[in-house]
Chain A
Amino acid sequence: GAVVSQHPSRVICKSGTSVKIECRSLDFQATTMFWYRQFPKQSLMLMATSNEGSKATYEQGVEKDKFLINHASLTLSTLTVTSAHPEDSSFYICSAQDRGNTEAFFGQGTRLTVV
């Protein structure tokens, strides 16, 4: 099946710094990418949807200035957590799909810890 690579898998950063998470589709063109956040022992909460070449659509309650999403190419989307705080610590997962495909492929996830 299709492969989505997410990097880094784990990151620890200091409060006030920014962290960038990359999501790459390795063998298909991802026209749409989704970013999710998962709290411990909870389900995935959609943060935003991005289509290549256009601005991301954020879900209600997600700060677009804090969680910057860039989908500059058909194989790469990035999520930047700006001015991170301990409450931003979480597991972030991306998924990607190509046009016309009912299935989305998930990255391995990134565990962010802000200290």
Chain B
Amino acid sequence: GNSVTQMEGPVTLSEEAFLTINCTYTATGYPSLFWYVQYPGEGLQLLLKATKADDKGSNKGFEATYRKETTSFHLEKGSVQVSDSAVYFCALRGNYGQNFVFGPGTRLSVLP
């Protein structure tokens, strides 16, 4: 079945540092890939998505590129802020309307 693996945290960075959170997936066909962010005590918010190979999703300075050859969708940001502190989930959805499959989540803490 489909699965998502992502680096487990916690990840602690200083403000303005470079962020990478690795995500790899296993799926049949051509899934859509997502990054969701969860702030403390809240639900999930879509951060960015990519629906086909080589697509780059971007939002709020975050980027991720759909790499089919490496089955990866790594999240990057050039300069993190304290307000980026949250849990980040990599997720996929199969191309037949199936439910989402989530990675374990990576907790990011950004220190001033």
A interface residues with partner B (beta carbon < 8 Å): 1, 6, 32, 34, 41-44, 46, 49, 93, 95, 102-109, 111
Instruction: Give bound CA distance, A93 to B36, whole Å.
Output: 13
Q: Is the interface of B mostly helix, strand, loop or mixed?
A: strand
Interface hit among B15-23, B42-50, B63-71, B76-84: B42-50
For the complex, count residues of B whose C-beta is within 8 A of A: 21
B41 within 8 A of A: yes
In the bound complex, do residue B42 and residue A108 qualify as a contact, i.e. CB atoms below 8 Å apart?
yes
Q: List 10 A-B contacts (CB under 8 A).
A: A41-B107, A42-B105, A43-B104, A44-B44, A49-B99, A104-B93, A104-B100, A105-B46, A109-B43, A111-B41
Instruction: Give bound CA distance, A44 to B90, whole Å.
Output: 11
Q: List residues of chain B with CB within 8 A of the CB of A108.
A: 42-43
In the bound complex, do residue B105 and residue A1 qualify as a contact, i.e. CB atoms below 8 Å apart?
no
In the bound complex, do residue A6 and residue B89 qualify as a contact, i.e. CB atoms below 8 Å apart?
no
Q: Which of B51, B103, B104 contacts A102 (CB 8 A)?
A: B51
* Shortest Cβ distance from residue B105 to the other chain A in the assembled complex, whole angstroms: 5
In the bound complex, do residue B100 and residue A102 qualify as a contact, i.e. CB atoms below 8 Å apart?
no
In the bound complex, do residue B43 and residue A43 qualify as a contact, i.e. CB atoms below 8 Å apart?
no
Instruction: Give bound CA distance, A105 to B51, whole Å.
Output: 16
In the bound complex, do residue A103 and residue B49 qualify as a contact, i.e. CB atoms below 8 Å apart?
yes
* Shortest Cβ distance from residue A60 to the other chain B in the assembled complex, whole angstroms: 12
Which B57-112 residues sit within 8 Å CB-CB of chain A? 89, 93, 97, 99-100, 102-105, 107
In the bound complex, do residue A103 and residue B46 qualify as a contact, i.e. CB atoms below 8 Å apart?
yes
Instruction: Give bound CA distance, A34 to B102, whole Å.
Output: 13
A103-B49, A106-B43 as given contacts; A34 in contact with B99, CB under 8 Å: yes
Q: List residues of chain B with CB within 8 A of the CB of A109.
A: 41-43
* Shortest Cβ distance from residue B46 to the other chain A in the assembled complex, whole angstroms: 6
Closest B residue by C-beta to A49: B99
8 smallest CB-CB distances across A and B, nearest first, come from A109-B43, A106-B44, A108-B43, A106-B43, A43-B104, A102-B32, A43-B102, A44-B102
Q: List residues of chain A with CB within 8 A of the CB of B105.
A: 41-43
